[in-house]
Amino acid sequence: MRVVRTIAELKTELSRKKNEGHEIGFVPTMGYLHEAHLRLVDRACQENGTVVMSIFVNPLQFGPNEDFDRYPRDIERDKKLAEERGVDILFCPETKEMYPSPLSVTVQVKEGTDVLCGRHRPGHFDGVATVVLKLLHMVEPSRIYFGMKDAQQVAVIEKMVSDLNIPVTVVPCETIRENDGLAKSSRNVYLSEQERRQAPALYESLVQGAALINEGEDRPEKVIEKVKDMIEAKTDGEIDYVELLSYPDLKPVESIEGRVIIAAALRFEKARLIDNITLEASRKAAAAY
């Protein structure tokens, strides 16, 4: 595995691979790798001749009171995990390499950001879209891989790629979970023992919401009420939101039909957890991801 820290080095390595006829698979991350990141690498290895992973904690997507400075980092551990899993090129730029001067042009996401996490994090998805667009220009991959735990992020990136005619395929991958259902996340390390025991209730509540839809419930407010009641009964955390929207448009629905997302965010003392289920609403059993 080649570890590169500058855009020039990255371009040189990628030029060599592309000249050899390799398709490039790209896995962008903020590091502190866990199994969900590595499953994205597995998928990328299956579908491409060369796999690039980036590790960059992007300051543009953190608000003034968010956890940029304390976001978990362990680059030596990440290098080892990435190499063992099959990453060919690991791109680890410093902030000055990505943003050598204040940006005069950024991406502004106009739709799909006033719901879910976007409602509580103004400017967050502008920062995500800006850094992903920069990375796409640097790597020029055939495919880019994202986990569906961050389903709103996936929807935003898919729309950006479509709207701006970027020649890349966005590959959404299923959420990877602990044995008890908790979605794997770098921020799970901040949970206390008691919070960790309670945390699986977030996913359990979403499963119950999906089951209600599968049983024929078509009123969004009833599903949301069910999810909220279960979270409040089983955790001491504070609910940031529970929402049911169309997917990937992320629009409110009056009646549940077609592809929808049930999503929730739960705030504990030092960790904010998000999770979701997308499903095809019909009178038959729905397929959930």
pLDDT tens for each residue of 238-289: 999 999 999 999 999 999 999 999 999 999 999 999 999 999 987 544 444 4
Whole-angstrom Cα distance, residue 91 to residue 139? 10
Residues annotated within the binding site for (R)-pantoate are 61, 153
| Average pLDDT of the chain to the nearest whole number | 94
Taking residue 173's Cβ as centre, other Cβ atoms within 10 Å add up to: 19
Query: What confidence tens digit (pLDDT) does each residue in 127-144 have?
Result: 999 999 999 999 999 999
For residue 172, give both structure tokens.
């959404």
- pTM for the full predicted model: 0.90
37 tagged catalytic: yes
Taking the C-alpha atoms of residue 204 and residue 202, their distance in angstroms, rounded to an integer, is 6
Residue ranges of domains in the chain, CATH in brackets: 2-173 (3.40.50.620), 186-279 (3.30.1300.10)
pLDDT digits 0-9 by tens, 75-96: 999 999 999 999 999 999 999 9
In the chain, the N- to C-terminal Cα span, in Å, equals 32
Task: Point out the annotated binding site.
Answer: 30-37, 61, 147-150, 153, 176, 184-187
How far apart are alpha carbons 21 and 19 in whole angstroms? 5
**Which of 37, 120, 124, 137 is an active site residue?**
37
Q: Which residues of 9-44 are buried (b: 16+ CB within 10 A; e: fewer)?
A: ebeebbeebeeeebebbbbbbbbbbbebbbbbbbbb
pLDDT of residue 285: 42
